[in-house]
Structure 1
């Protein structure tokens, strides 16, 4: 597969694309509505922030403990059924029957269980799009995530202004039901990827290998610290923060389009370190407190560097045994989201004592240090990485 047209020629990928874009839009609406609802109940900015991140925080724990379910359960009924469960939890939260702590607990339980479910979807992408097709498919999905986040924030904002957060939660529940229907009637039935007893030791095998740990850290740390910098856009730019968020989304979309479509595996290997460096360097200019439009230009250029993760994900997918593919992708994705949430918490804490623009600079500097420490992992040849990873078959 060499073009996006080739990717979309696969019928089941079109189904996954529709389902995942709908899920992202609904998830974005949920995060904003829940944060608004909790703030309305408590008046606490801290609890509002916790509500916004609550679904991300337990995901890596879910990947570590029940991640093997991504490979041991049939994907279609699991993915479709989970959207029905998610819709029911959103209706419960919107009903007003739960106290604030109950809302947060439900969201965290959902985040914990959701990890292997999302991993099953990512593994299905790899099954449907072998070889270079996987990078093209992930590139398309990443671009869709950015677009649907913008759309989700826009729709949720309109609903919040017009009829309140409970209506936004109910709209997100309706979206989840629609996504469940897309999966149920659009995907064909498949057997579990693996039912072997040895798969139970998959997480231990993945984390116990130095090469795989390095590839996981390369997906979690440099990018996560930059997301922590993005978490400070509101205190940095105030009412103009939306300009910075749109610039970040635009830069990320451009990077995924260019690198995903017009590079080969070997060139993505060579581009990994330069793109990771590009991701951080423009943020160092925040030391000079740039105006919002200059800052937006810096953010757009930096966000192009997020495309460096495409090559890292490709090497990671090639490195792990096929029967652990779902579990491995779930661990990578869940760790990334949890890392971003923790990085945002860290930068927010630092910004209580250090000027916001200098906190952004510190996050960028930390990302550069992480990239330097991971240089060998980011430049290792695929055959070298694969030779280190145990095959559990």
Structure 2
């Protein structure tokens, strides 16, 4: 598969559209339940709890549920998760349900997204066994996820304003049904990666794999650097206000960051050979945080937008890390390994944004952004140095023989 041909594959197109539908539906559900919680209680804390409920399942499910995508056919996992999520969200749309029950239903629906996402990520590699094709597909998926998150919240607000919370939840349920229909129609059946009858379930197998293999551990830490790089997005509104801007400035900053990442990933996937892309991982990771450090100088909105775009471009290193990770992780444990990485990433980003928001109440937001950039740069340099001085390991092009057993 050519690095230019990801969209030519019908399976990938179905998985990509299903990803968009799932992201959009998730945002609709979050916004709808937040609005509903505030309408019922009048409490900002109750409204905020609705969003927190969508983070907790990842902390629990990431390490514990990723195995489902390895022990059962990944296509079947996607279908079951979509259909179960549609049912749970549809129940949430029933008028008069108590708020704790709504939280519990949303928790379960979000928990299903853990094995869904892990299985989907592993399945993309099944569709594109070559690194160039997988890199192209990953770049498209990453860019889509970023823009879907920004656009999804805005669209969710519009949907919530134009409909009732119950109607927005029903719309969310429909997105899951459409996703299931696409997967069933276009994604072909494949056997499970791991024989479910020969081995006992090990809930922490993915944790042992990721942190027991020096290559996977290092690449996981690179992925988790996004904990620092997402901080500017979480404090974009107060940063824009401190810079003398308003809603347009917020949009400029968010769009600049997302555009920088999009351009970087597209360039890396389409025009940079795999070997050179891997060599760029370390310098790009260091470069991702450096522009944010300059925000301590309190530049205006335009310069800030340029700095955030450069930071986004540096964060394209995640593409090289992702390709190297999937190459090193054995297929039999790939979904579970993805689940572990995703759990840490979601946890780190959630905690990072909360801490940054709290810190921004006592120090200038520009200092918060610069501090996040500095921490990202220092951690990236530490990882680079650790790799330079570590003993030579086996080539990352193939997993060790025992991993393929």
Q: TM-score with structure 1 length normalisation? A: 0.90
> In the alignment, which residue of structure 2 is the partner of 1:192?
192
2:142 corresponds to: 142
Q: 1:215 aligns with which of 216, 219, 229?
A: 219
Q: Which residue does the alignment assign to 2:257?
A: 248
Q: 1:223 to 1:164 in 2, by over 3 A?
A: same
Secondary structure at the aligned position of 2:56 is classed as coil
The answer (yes or no) to whether the contact 1:269–1:378 under 8 Å persists in 2 is no
Q: Which moved more, 1:41-50 or 1:160-169?
A: 41-50
Task: Specify the alignment match of 1:361 in structure 2.
Answer: 370
Question: In structure 2, what is the equivalent of residue 169 of structure 1?
Answer: 169
Corresponding residue for residue 102 of structure 1: 101
Note the C-alpha offset of 1:139: 0.8
Report how far residue 92 of structure 1 moved: 2.9
Distance 1:168 1:250, change over 3 A: farther
Distance 1:26-1:287 versus aligned 2 partners, 3 A rule: same
Could you tell me whether the CA contact under 8 Å between 2:89 and 2:105 is conserved in 1?
no
Match of 2:157 in 1: 157
User: How far apart in 2 are the matches of 1:298 and 1:115?
Assistant: 33
In the alignment, structure 1 residue 232 sits paired with structure 2 residue 235: yes
Structure 2 distance, partners of 1:51, 1:233, is: 21
Residue pairs, 1:56-95, within 5 angstroms: 56-95=55-94
Shift of 1:198: 6.3
Where 1:336 maps in the other structure, the secondary structure is helix
Deviation at 1:303, TM superposition (A): 1.0
Separation (CA, whole Å) in 2 of partners of 1:285 and 1:389: 46
CA distance in 1, matches of 2:348, 2:402: 26
Alpha-carbon contact 2:85-2:112 (below 8 Å) kept: no
* Separation (CA, whole Å) in 2 of partners of 1:212 and 1:328: 9
Secondary structure (helix, strand or coil) at the match of 1:197 reads coil
Q: Spell out the pairing of 1:1-393 with structure 2 (5 A cutoff).
A: 1-4=1-4, 6-132=5-131, 133-195=133-195, 196-197=198-199, 200=202, 202-203=205-206, 204-220=208-224, 222-238=225-241, 239-240=246-247, 241-376=250-385, 383-385=394-396, 391=403, 393=405
* 1:102-160 Cα distance to aligned partner (Å, 9 max, x none): 33333333333321221111111001101221111101111222333344234323222
d(CA) in 1 for partners of 2:36, 2:299: 34
Contact residue 3 and residue 269 of structure 2 kept, 8 A: no
Asked if structure 2 preserves the Cα contact closer than 8 Å seen for 1:16 and 1:183, the reply is yes
For 1:319 and 1:360, locate their aligned partners in 2 and report how far apart those are by CA, in whole Å. Answer: 33
How many angstroms apart in 2 are the aligned matches of 1:40 and 1:355? Answer: 33
Work out the CA distance in 2 between the residues paired with 1:31 and 1:39. Answer: 12
1:212/1:389 contact within 8 Å kept: no
Q: How many residues align?
A: 391
> Aligned equivalents of 1:329 and 1:91: distance in 2?
29
Tell me if structure 2 keeps the 8 A contact 1:205–1:390.
no
Stretch moving more, 106-115 or 130-139 = 106-115
1:209–1:388 contact (8 Å) kept in structure 2: no
Q: CA deviation at 1:193?
A: 1.1
User: Please, which moves more after superposition, 154-163 or 61-70?
Assistant: 154-163
Cα deviation for residue 269 of structure 1 reads 1.8
